A and B are shown apart, each in its own frame.
Chain A
Amino acid sequence: MTRKYQFEALVAQTELVGEAYCRLTWSAPEMAAEARPGHFVTVRQNKSGFPLLRRPFSIHRVLDDGRLQILFKVIGAGTRQLAESKPGDAIDVVGPLGDGLFRVDEKRPNVLLVAGGIGVAPLLFLAETMPAQTKLIPVLLFGGATARDLPALDDFRNLGIEVRVRTEDGGAGRRGLVTDELADVLSGLDPARTQLLACGPMPMLRAAAGMCAPRGVPCQVSLETVMACGLGSCFGCAIELQPDCAEAEVDYVRVCHEGPVFDAARIRWNEEP
């Protein structure tokens, strides 16, 4: 079990990534030492009372000297405030959180990292911590609405990772969805030597899970739901799993506690509403 911390951390840096994304860095050596790919933190950015609830962010990177980084899309007033924070501003951070983390199977060399937009955030941490001496060959399949929705792309390239891009408007890479790219890639790989680790919108994850299951390719997905506590206490972030036994009608688990990373085969994927 990971030791959790709550810190009043000082923002070390905010960096705009394109027009709509932001990287925020702070120093927290104890938290950094505990952090593993898949972990998240919750952030309360000020004491004004708005936003009311802490916001969860997956850990994007652990840098040398005990700095942690998150990457987020500026969507509403809360994320805008956070993006506008200045070095030295205090943020209240709790983490690292989540018991369900990414686990790389070293016996399956074809490691497909599948990201949809901001879902790329935890995958860079995963890519950067993948042991270099192994025979693993990571490939990033990255989809976004436009060329502006592919944050951190160059960081993967700088790691020497092959990146295959799709955008919905064709502004970068081939036109289409990342799951179109996944279908192409999967058809050329030996399923027994392939694994998939994904983060992105629910429909993308559901489609990816649906492609992996019939081929027997293990698929791990990092999920995001609205959370209140982030600590496993309120059961607000629950998702539905396939029940373990026939008697149980439903089995709800906490994304914040049993997740955020789940084996896709365990999730009861609902049809598109």
Chain B
Amino acid sequence: MSPLDLTVDLGRGLRLRNPVMAASGTFGYGLEYDDLVDLSQIGAIVVKGLSPQPRAGNAPPRIVETAGGMLNSIGLQNPGVHAFLAEKLPRLLERNAIVVANVYGEQVEDYVYVVEQLSGPQADGVSGLEINVSCPNVKAGGIAFGVDADLLGALIARLRQCTDKHLMVKLSPNVTDIAMLARIAVQAGADSLSAINTLLGMAIDLEARKPKLGNVTGGLSGPAIKPVALRMAWQVAQAVDVPVIGVGGIMNGADALEFICVGCRAVQVGTANFQNPQAPIQIAREMESWLVSHGLAGVDGLEGTLNF
């Protein structure tokens, strides 16, 4: 029994068991971890991005470890929204997981289609939708919507009309003014914002004079990006009134609490899951111990309490 009530209500039906979600693309569809992790103990599982049809993804190699981080260029390989609803979701719900579905499209109509599918009767158990407008690894769509204020506003406004579910918009760090884009997303109807997705990066093999990734560039994640993520999550939290979910290089409870301190209501952990599949649960426990030892009754006592 936990000493504290760590549940977090992000609004419009998305209630987390604790403030730590597993970030999209780093925890598959949850079921891959079935033997190893009690999925019901995770704040919520944000499943790997779903598109209208199956996607093959990018040419390998797709992963390279770099100093304090890793680059990936998976390219959103996924079985499509229908396979998710038919094969993955029922099993996830049997395990009592809280499920957030990540949505990707190449054009507005793709996003609309996936959001509609995830808002229909077959998707009753999906608690929220995270809109991916920030994947740096696909040629069409995705990040195009996340870096252009007009496109972003129009997309989110359209999706707002298609669903009553919680809409979380995952922001890209590959922009000049993330606060401006955050405000646009909220004005268009976003219920929460997750910040940040990966930073566009590159690694090469000097001797061969070749890129290390098949896609040449990829998204940088892991501890190396935490200061950037923290700064951007702070900027976003300053700019909007909806809950902000901090993402980027969180490896332990203290990292997660820093994001809460700068104004986030919850966090997502990604690369840490590769290091240890128990990371989301362990990080939530570490947060709880810290809160208890500091006489706080929950994360809300820490949220946005940064002193200057």
Contact = CB atoms under 8 A, between A and B. Distances in A.
A94 B36 contact: yes
Given A52-B69, A53-B274, A252-B77, A229 B36 contact: no
B169 interface: no
Given A52-B65, A52-B222, A54-B275, A233 B60 contact: no
A6 B282 CA distance: 14
Interface in B46-88: 48, 56-57, 59-65, 68-70, 72, 74, 77
B28 A231 contact: yes
Q: Which of A3, A232, A238, A273 neighbours the largest number of chain B CB atoms within 10 Å of its CB?
A: A238
A243 to B, nearest CB: 9
Contacts of B35: 3-5
Interface stretch (A57-65, A127-135, A176-184, A220-228): A220-228
Chain A, interface size: which category?
20 to 34
B271 interface: yes
B25 A234 contact: yes
B225 to A, nearest CB: 12
B271 A52 contact: yes
B172 to A, nearest CB: 20
Contacts of B69: 52
Interface string A93-127: 01000000000000000000000000000000000
B7 interface: no
Contacts of B133: none
Contact of B48 (A44, A227, A233): A233
B67 to A, nearest CB: 9
B57 to A, nearest CB: 5
A231 B222 CA distance: 19
A234 B26 contact: yes
A229 B274 contact: yes
A263 B62 CA distance: 22
A92 B61 contact: no
B276 interface: yes
Contacts of B89: none
Interface string B276-287: 111000000000
Given A52-B69, A52-B275, A233-B48, A4 B36 contact: yes
Interface string B27-52: 11100110110000000000010000
Contacts of B277: 6, 94, 229, 231
A236 B60 CA distance: 8
A269 interface: no
A153 to B, nearest CB: 30
A225 B28 contact: no
A207 to B, nearest CB: 20
B80 to A, nearest CB: 14
A44 B72 CA distance: 20
A196 interface: no
B65 A235 contact: no
B28 A252 contact: no
Contact of B74 (A52, A225, A235): A235
A234 B65 CA distance: 14
Given A52-B275, A229-B274, A236 B63 contact: yes
Q: Which of A51, A229, A232, A248 neighbours the largest number of chain B CB atoms within 10 Å of its CB?
A: A229
B128 interface: no
A28 to B, nearest CB: 14
A228 B271 CA distance: 8
Contacts of A232: 28, 32
A211 interface: no
A240 interface: yes
A213 interface: no
Contact of A238 (B33, B62, B278): B62
A252 B56 CA distance: 6
Contacts of B74: 234-236, 238
A92 B223 contact: no
A252 B215 CA distance: 14
B251 interface: yes
B273 interface: yes
B33 A231 contact: yes
A5 B274 contact: no
Contacts of A51: 65
Given A44-B276, A52-B223, A229-B32, A237 B48 contact: no
B231 interface: no
A237 B63 contact: yes
A160 interface: no
Contact of A6 (B27, B61, B278): B278
15 contacts: A6-B36, A52-B70, A53-B65, A53-B70, A54-B274, A92-B276, A226-B61, A226-B63, A228-B26, A233-B48, A234-B63, A236-B63, A238-B62, A249-B56, A251-B56
Given A52-B70, A252-B60, 8 more contacts: A6-B277, A6-B278, A52-B65, A52-B223, A228-B70, A228-B271, A234-B25, A273-B210
Interface of B: 25-29, 32-33, 35-36, 48, 56-57, 59-65, 68-70, 72, 74, 77, 208, 210, 222-223, 251, 271, 273-278
Interface of A: 3-6, 44, 49, 51-54, 92, 94, 225-229, 231-240, 248-252, 257, 273
